[in-house]
Structure 1
Amino acid sequence: MVDQSIVVEVVYAAVDDQALISLQVPIGTTVAQAIEMSGIAERFPDVDFSQCPVGIFAKLVDSPAEYVLEAGDRIELYRPLLADPKEVRRLRAAKAAQARKTR
């Protein structure tokens, strides 16, 4: 008999806690369904996972409700950035330039 399910992982890293949940889901399960099935919302009740960016192995998924999973996929739930990395680099470069001027 052919196995009608696949194994996937759901991962999330909060500031002080990380979760890696491996689960078996039926073939044809979407990203959104797997997130719901994982129970991760109960572990992190302060996070609205419906609003989090989602990726599969660091590649963003535009429509989690439509993206059908494949065996071995790792669903990554991303936290919002606290600061824009480009802005941080720009500020650091400006600070370094100012420090060189004052020498």
Structure 2
Amino acid sequence: MRIEVVQARARGYEAVTLTLPEGATVGDAVQASGLGAGPAPAGLAVFGVLATAATPLVDGDRVELLQPLQVDPKEARRRRAAKL
């Protein structure tokens, strides 16, 4: 089955398309992609839905390596409101 693994970068993103056997998990996809070798991701998702390394995949899934937030969303809104 074909799986895409995506990791956001400061400027753009990096994507790898893999062919994995049936029954593969999110952890298998991350390991096979080589994208998780740097700093540990803040989380994992499949098409934007939080997942764990044990989550099974189906053909066509997109695994996302999530990055930590740069700014708390509430704080970002306060900053924008203060500028008005």
TM-score of the pair, normalised by structure 2 = 0.86
Query: How many residues are aligned here?
Result: 84
Q: Is 1:48–2:36 an aligned residue pair?
A: no
Gaps of 5+ in 2: none
Q: 4+ residue runs of structure 1 moved beyond 6 angstroms?
A: none
The Cα RMSD (Å) is 1.6
Greater share of residues in strand: 2
Greater Cα offset, 78-87 or 13-22:
13-22
1:34 to 26, 29, 37: 29
Gaps of 5+ in 1: 1-5, 97-103
Alignment of 1:8-87 (within 5 A): 8-16=3-11, 18-42=13-37, 45=38, 47-49=39-41, 52-61=42-51, 63-64=52-53, 66-87=54-75
Q: Aligned partners of 2:12 and 2:44: how far apart in 1? A: 18
TM-score of the pair, normalised by structure 1 = 0.72
Q: Aligned partners of 2:13 and 2:82: how far apart in 1? A: 35
Percent identity, aligned pairs only? Answer: 38
